[in-house]
Amino acid sequence: MSRFSRLLLAPVVALWMGCSVAAPSAASGGLHPGPAAWLEEYWDVKPAKLDEFVTRYRQEVYSLARKLPGYRGYTVLTNLPDPAAPSHPNLFGDQMIAPHYGIHLNGKVETGRVINIGNLLRRTHNVVVVHHLQTWADRDAFRENLSHAYQKAHPGEEYSEHLARTIYALANNFWEADFRLIETGLEVEHRPAQAGDDADGLDLEPRPSHTGWYKEYFDVDATELSAFLRAYDETYTVMKPIPGYRGVTIVTTLAPDAAESARTSYGNRVLGAPGELYVPQPGMLMDGTIRTDTSINFSSLFARTYTLITYYEVPWDTKLLPLMQKNWEALGNKGGRIEHVSNTLFPHARNHWDMQYRAIETSFASTSGEARHATVELGGLWLGTWDADLTHSTFNGRPPYQSGTMTVTAEAGVTHVVCDVVTASGVAFHFDYRDPQDGTDVPVTGNPYYDTESTVWSDPFSGTRTERRRGEITGKTLFAIAPDGMSYTANSSRTTPEDGHLYTSVILWKRRAQGTPR
């Protein structure tokens, strides 16, 4: 059996997902943003040519892609059986309607049965190649940059003609689809390139793995996305301790909010695959023999069956459900976890099914140091105007606010925070400060609880503000931004200025839509 046929998926992307209102820091194994664009190529490779395809793809495509600015590696998966272990991967049978706990048909009627679209989808391809790109501007330029890189090394030759001879001839068909990465549980790695010339100073050398790679498909409506992600966080929490588990990574065809759109250069694109069945693809050969310059875009048939995919990696034959129940109970929960997720997770999805692959190799880098620093430096997702949701907030040691509004803006080298509060007694106070977000103690004007503060962000979702009064630390506030960037919690503990008694609060702040009046 060949080397490539035996390799299984690497520590790539476990679909990320399901943060509660706050995502834990990357350092603690929590979920965090990654490269924005997740480009999937679906290949129907001639099975006898799999090893040759992988070798040639690495030589003819990946060798060029790994040098392009903004490129963050690739992942190669296959659903072809491992000759040494024919049950790997698990193809989940041929039934179109199959038992699965918790499923709610159309998000309404609990049926305990999936509509197994994966049974159809898996017959259209046998290899998936995922390209990871930092921003959508990098994605837009990807194909053209590949062509330019090839032509620079081979003047006068068309890259599409070269691929027709070397790659397309090994496959029956190929098409592609774009997804937006919501978040990932893979740690941010800061590794120097071996030769100093991989994209943006990263080491993108492919590496193998020997575990199973799961794809969970969910049909989640945009209005249910935040609730779904919060519910999925409980699943992620009980899967993290499983030996050998890596990830999760979550991707979607749903558009991002305004903050993420600006951060990732999203623009007005449409995610997923084109709506047409036949898509121009220079160099393409049907069945590897007949030149058509056209891809058969099977994703056009399945586009309305799902909106979200989670990826995670676990050792083969891991008994997931008993281990997840055990971890659920270890957190102090009572009763059955399956019954719980049947009531809290699956009602947010119209359908769900599973697919499994084995990995050939991956070089996925969850983000670059430069991109991550830029996101954190000015508070990242915290920028915007926020209103306190006092019906979902708690106060101990002080009566609740009547109202609260906060505006966070980026200025030259600092974040400017302006807050207006009306207390329970009707007293209004206004405070503001300008913070470089690097731990520097800066003045605060107008706040009776602290006259200086310093804020640091451990990742784009998690920050800590240390509050001082007359030089003494009198409180801390933990910021936790939701995965969709539309809300955050401020969990505060501080002493009061008049008598020093403890005052704690957990305040939910919601992002104000653009154009909404005060």
SS3 of 224-274: the string is HHHHHHHHHHHHHHHHCCCCCCEEEEEEECCCCCHHHHHHHCCCCCCCECC
- Does 157 score more than 90 pLDDT? yes
Token pair in block for residue 283: 């160099």
Element at 177 (helix H, strand E): strand 171-184
| 334-348 pLDDT per residue, tens | 999 999 999 999 999
**Residue 273: its pLDDT value, please?**
94
Select from 344, 335, 313, 316 the least CA-distant residue to 235: 344
**Residue 195: its pLDDT value, please?**
42
What mean pLDDT comes out for the span 413-437?
91
Confidence of residue 10 (pLDDT cuts 50, 70, 90): very low
State the angle between helix axes of 337-344 and 225-239 in degrees (0 to 180), rounded to the nearest 10.
160
Confidence of residue 30 (pLDDT cuts 50, 70, 90): low
Between CA 10 and CA 363 the distance in angstroms is 8
What mean pLDDT comes out for the span 178-201?
70
Select from 210, 211, 192, 188 the least CA-distant residue to 201: 192
Token pair in block for residue 172: 């029956």
Confidence of residue 144 (pLDDT cuts 50, 70, 90): very high
**Residue 459: its pLDDT value, please?**
67
**Residue 14: its pLDDT value, please?**
31
Say which residue, 370 or 33, is predicted with more confidence: 33
**Residue 91: its pLDDT value, please?**
81
**Residue 379: its pLDDT value, please?**
55
**Residue 368: its pLDDT value, please?**
38
Average pLDDT, the chain: 85
Confidence of residue 514 (pLDDT cuts 50, 70, 90): low
CA dihedral 41, 162, 80, 246 (to 10 degrees): -50
Count CB atoms within 10 A of the CB of residue 444. Answer: 21
Between CA 254 and CA 495 the distance in angstroms is 43
| 287-306 pLDDT per residue, tens | 999 999 999 999 999 999 99
**Residue 457: its pLDDT value, please?**
80
Select from 518, 517, 257 the least CA-distant residue to 404: 518
Confidence of residue 197 (pLDDT cuts 50, 70, 90): confident
Confidence of residue 47 (pLDDT cuts 50, 70, 90): very high
Confidence of residue 124 (pLDDT cuts 50, 70, 90): very high
| 72-115 pLDDT per residue, tens | 999 999 999 988 888 888 888 889 999 999 999 999 999 999 99
Confidence of residue 492 (pLDDT cuts 50, 70, 90): very high
What mean pLDDT comes out for the span 188-206?
66
Between CA 237 and CA 29 the distance in angstroms is 10
**Highest mean pLDDT: which range of 23-37, 148-162, 198-212, 479-493:** 148-162
What is the set of domains in the chain, with CATH numbers? 3-375 (3.30.70.100), 378-511 (2.40.128.20)
Question: Residue 14 half-sphere exposure, CB side, CA atoms within 13 Å?
Answer: 26
Determine the residue type at 446.
G
**Residue 411: its pLDDT value, please?**
79
**Residue 188: its pLDDT value, please?**
56
Which residues are CB-neighbours of 374 under 8 A, at least 6 positions away? none
- Does 17 score more than 70 pLDDT? no
What is the 3-state secondary structure of 447-503? CCCCCEEEEEEEECCEEEEEEEECCEEEEEEEEEECCCCCEEEEEEEEECCCCCCEE
| 385-423 pLDDT per residue, tens | 999 999 999 999 989 989 999 999 887 778 899 999 999
Between CA 267 and CA 410 the distance in angstroms is 21
| 213-237 pLDDT per residue, tens | 999 999 999 999 999 998 998 899 9
Say which residue, 177 or 377, is predicted with more confidence: 177
